[in-house]
Amino acid sequence: MAQRVTGWVGWIWFAGIVMFIAGTWNFFYGLAAVLGPDKGYVAANGKLLILNINGWGWAHLIFGIVLAIVGLVVLSGAAWARILAILLVALNLITQFIWLPVQPWWSLLVIVLDFFVIWALIVHGDEAERV
């Protein structure tokens, strides 16, 4: 007996689109870091975060490309893409805790979005294969 697809599969579309947007955003952040001046630090709210801007830029550039591509493949319902997406989004969620002291509101927003993407991929992912 064939299982029925419900409207909850829309959460997979949500997850894929959010991943694509986040990947594109990360790509442009990385591109700006690679092409921009090598400042070496970020200061906000009285906190100072020292980092390698060039390395940070290349990491975001590559991570953004991978995240955007996997986000698009998630829309097809491929099981391997959902598993990889959960791992990538979990990594993104964890890294937001590094930026929490520097950009608290942005980091909290990304953490919440990542949580919903992971939830959608885990809870409603199998339904995407049947579309």
104 found inside a domain: yes
Cα 8 vs. chain centroid, distance in angstroms? 21
Q: What digits encode the pLDDT tens for the residues 4-60? A: 767 778 889 999 999 999 999 999 988 988 887 766 666 666 665 666 678 888 998
pTM: 0.81
Q: How many domains does the chain have?
A: 1
Contacts of 87 (CB under 8 A, 6+ apart): none
Domain span at residue 43 reads 8-128
Q: What digits encode the pLDDT tens for the residues 90-120? A: 999 998 898 888 788 989 999 999 999 999 9
Spatial separation of the C-alpha atoms in residues 118 and 91, rounded to whole Å: 11
3 found inside a domain: no
